[in-house]
Amino acid sequence: MTQHVALITGSSRGIGFGIAERLIKEGWRVVITGRNSDTLSASVSHLGSEALGFAGKADDPAHQEEVVDATLQHWGRLDLLVNNAGINPVYGPLMDTELGAARKVLEVNLLSSLRWIQLCYNSWMQANGGCVVNVASVTGLTAAHGLGVYGVSKAALIALTRQLGDELGPGIRVNAVAPAVVKTEFSRALYEGSEDEVVATYPLQRLGSPQDVAGTVAFLASDDAAWITGQTIVVDGGLTLGGRL
C-alpha cells in the first residue's frame, strides 16, 4: 500500500488521528482535517512528512473542495476517504430535541459525508477506483438512551454505506465501522466519573481505544478486504451482544 493516499476528516485527535497514525505505519500518505488550526498543526507535526493538514468545518463546501483539490495537487491521487468527522451536541429524548439542532447533526454526520464521497468520486475514484470507510456508531444499530439524534444520524450513515456499496462497485468499495465508547475527548461525557460502571457492561471489560478502530479501518482499506463492500463492522468490546445499549 506504499504511496497510497488517504483523506481522513475530523482527524486532528481521537479516532481520526489514530487512523492516520496506523495508515502511515502501513505506508500510506494521509491528509487530515479538523476545526482547530493549532491542534491540527500539532497533529501534522507529530505525524511527519507523510501528512498534510487543512483546518475547516467538515460541512463547509468550500473547505471540502479545497481539501480534495489540494490532496490531488500535492499527492497526485486519492485512494481512501475516511468519513470520521461528526458532532453530538444534543443529549436527551427526541421529543425534547430542537429541530434546528437535529438538522445540524444530520448535516455534519450524514450529508457532509455524502458530499465528501461525491467529491472524491468525481475527482479521482470514478476513473481510478478507491475505498470509502464511514465511521458510524453502535448507536446506529439499536436504541441508545439520550443519544437519539446522534443514533439516527449514524443509522442513516450505515444505510448510506449499504446503498453506495451497491451503487459504486466494482471499482469502489464502501464500508463502515461502528464503535461503542472509545476513550477520546469526544466521548468523555459518556464515561468520565463512572468508567468502572460503564466498563462492567462490556464483555471484554474495557472501553475502546482509537487504535482498536484504526486497525479495523486499515483492514477495510487493504487488499485483505477486497471482497467486502456495503458492510458495517461492529467494534464494541461485545457491548451490543445484550441487544441494546
Q: Residues 6 or more apart from 36 whose CB is under 8 A from it?
A: 12, 55
Q: CA separation (Å) from 126 to 46, 68, 123, 163, 219?
A: 32, 14, 7, 16, 22
**Could you say which of 91, 121, 150, 191 is catalytic?**
150
150 in catalytic set: yes
Active site residues: 150
